[in-house]
Structure 1
């Protein structure tokens, strides 16, 4: 190891930063020469998963396998949403920007996993040096995403042909594991409950099972929306059965949740920043949601999840044996579509009592 002005320095340590003092030095005054927590890096691993928050969350099971396979590795994760990753599970979390790109292109890794088909992610896969690469590359002639090897073929094809996506019977974590060369063994998400933040939830009901109702689904695929009438019917059934429904959502759901609160008296505390919203979901006993960010958070928090699904392949979602997937009584014909071809979304053919029974079964499981 090098010495600088007679001082031993360990740039190979997982804790070493290079630009500022490492945590062991800052907190305990350790120097490299006698540091009791010196952790030499054996492998350098880069994960590229930019994606939406939910996609980043549901990729975290891969961290458990990588830590088991490479306990002395330094794991770097490049993403567009760095705040969602637990800092204690990843050695280095980088946000995609010019500075991070220049930084990574000057380094070399033992393993590189690019799990996104975004052109910028594929270009980084091609320009960052690594001994082994998995995932997606850029087609050298046509400049589109392309499988980097045969392991990526399945996930690639289900993403570009609706017919193959509909036929797929593998949940997303299994597909990601196989793309990286591993067998999925039920590894759970790696996630922070933010329970240590000291949020106060004194206004939440006590003494009854809390059923979180996430009433929105974003504005991309509005075919997933359930009407106010359906939500009111579900809330009333829950209240009559002794449950405590709690309305959940962000700013986009605030108006709807205020209406539902006024109509039923269901608890609504408002909308919150992401970390606080995550912790609010952690206070629930079961969560009812459509395919949206709250679904990924609920699964990550290991909550029983009642998932209302219509336009997606239900096999894609792994609830880890907690909760149920409920779908409309009428078959959906709008696979991955934001507008309904028939004019009225099939979600109106999902009865409230069907969701209610799934809640009962999930709470009592």
Structure 2
């Protein structure tokens, strides 16, 4: 299927995710009886002013005149510097896993000036990116008056697409607003557009996420690594604390939850308890980890075992603590991306996504239910016995043993 066959004017069309008929019946636009035409969903924005006004409307920003800001312009060096804008709003993990592009652009263009706008500025590597903006009306207004050599948008949200359409850039890559709907800046983004709209196409994808976004930018992925902000002083502080607690044992971080979304990824509580007890017998120092959503659950595991639970922390401190673990066990989550950025040995629980999506750089093992999974990108399971129950404690222990041997290589 080609992008031209997509019914962008259908009431069911979501843009950033598959529509309900596709989720339920595996249909696609060129052969779908659920097509419900809605011409008002096509929004032609033929001027920069119209694009900016629509962004402000979508985001409930205060309408204001967009003024040229000479101070902000002066931050971009002129001359031989290649000025590059990244629009990657997304979740924290999505922002982190976009950072390998920084290394690639520097390899290809040498002296680069990077600007990044996002909902999660705290994880954009400040030593690598020159100007970091949090998505708000002021930042959007500033970027609307800047010029770039290259602009990249990897999000399919309307406002992100409209911003890429608006900004002045010699070359644009990814997704933008064109012909009244989400569109591709170049044909290289068509594959990623279609896999995001149709589950049955996404299931057939064999590229990992990094191969996909590098392709969008007309590159080939060559194992470029993640980059992450790490507070070295904070990490050193936790190194001393954890060394005293672990007393020479191998520190294994157990990230027991997966956030509020897609709880079908959770491994059974009784399995975690059994795993922790077995790891303790084998001489590991078990460190329970997670955010506020996992606090109650981790306190339960601490009560049922001898595992250590230190509580919840700011993201900066969470990263510093993770840096002092040696092995991470986690479902697909923000922790997965943090562990990859910190080059940790990792065992990854996987069920509801396309397994080809994940690039672990040879430092991880993916474990899946032996019975497969029926709820692709789903938050409910129709089985009497959830697929995650099919991942045995013994198989997890065997994988951890492999990771532990890797530490000694």
Q: What interval of TM-score do these two structures reach, taking the shorter chain for normalisation?
A: 0.7 to 0.9
Gaps of 5+ in 2: 1-69
User: Does residue 115 in structure 1 map to residue 154 in structure 2?
Assistant: yes
* Counterpart contact for 2:85–2:115, Cα < 8 Å: yes
Deviations 1:152-171 (A, max 9, x none): 01111111111111111111
Query: Which whole-Å CA distance do the structure 1 matches of 2:124 and 2:238 have between them?
Result: 23
User: Does residue 135 in structure 1 map to residue 174 in structure 2?
Assistant: yes
Name 1:282's counterpart in structure 2. 323
- Residue number among 55, 65, 88 corresponding to 2:104 in the alignment: 65
* Counterpart contact for 2:211–2:221, Cα < 8 Å: yes
Q: Which runs of 4+ in 1 moved over 4 A?
A: 38-41
- Residue number among 368, 373, 383 corresponding to 1:327 in the alignment: 368
1:153-232, aligned counterparts within 5 Å? 153-197=190-234, 198-200=236-238, 202-203=241-242, 204-232=245-273
Query: Which whole-Å CA distance do the structure 2 matches of 1:356 and 1:193 have between them?
Result: 30
1:208-357, aligned counterparts within 5 Å? 208-357=249-398
1:43-58, aligned counterparts within 5 Å? 43-58=82-97
* Counterpart contact for 2:153–2:164, Cα < 8 Å: yes
Query: Which whole-Å CA distance do the structure 1 matches of 2:342 and 2:297 have between them?
Result: 25
* Counterpart contact for 1:39–1:72, Cα < 8 Å: no
Secondary structure of the 1:199 match is: helix
User: Does residue 42 in structure 1 map to residue 81 in structure 2?
Assistant: yes
Name 2:115's counterpart in structure 1. 76
RMSD of equivalent CA atoms:
1.9
* Counterpart contact for 2:252–2:328, Cα < 8 Å: yes
Name 1:35's counterpart in structure 2. none
Deviates more, 1:39-48 or 1:338-347: 39-48
* Counterpart contact for 1:199–1:276, Cα < 8 Å: no
User: Does residue 92 in structure 1 map to residue 161 in structure 2?
Assistant: no
Query: Which whole-Å CA distance do the structure 2 matches of 1:183 and 1:286 have between them?
Result: 30
Name 1:150's counterpart in structure 2. 187
* Counterpart contact for 1:40–1:72, Cα < 8 Å: no
* Counterpart contact for 1:44–1:74, Cα < 8 Å: yes
Report deviation, 1:341: 1.9
Secondary structure of the 1:75 match is: strand
In the alignment of these two chains, the number of paired residues is 332
Query: Which whole-Å CA distance do the structure 2 matches of 1:39 and 1:189 have between them?
Result: 28
Gaps of 5+ in 1: 1-16, 23-37
TM-score, scaled to structure 1 = 0.87
Query: Which whole-Å CA distance do the structure 2 matches of 1:18 and 1:227 have between them?
Result: 54
Deviations 1:265-308 (A, max 9, x none): 11111111100001111111100000111111111111011000
TM-score, scaled to structure 2 = 0.78
Deviations 1:138-191 (A, max 9, x none): 2423x3x22221110111111111111111111111111010010100000011
Deviates more, 1:49-58 or 1:97-106: 97-106
* Counterpart contact for 1:137–1:146, Cα < 8 Å: yes
Name 2:140's counterpart in structure 1. 101
Query: Which whole-Å CA distance do the structure 1 matches of 2:193 and 2:91 have between them?
Result: 18
Query: Which whole-Å CA distance do the structure 2 matches of 1:41 and 1:277 have between them?
Result: 38
Deviations 1:231-268 (A, max 9, x none): 01111121111211110011111111111111111111
Secondary structure of the 1:167 match is: coil
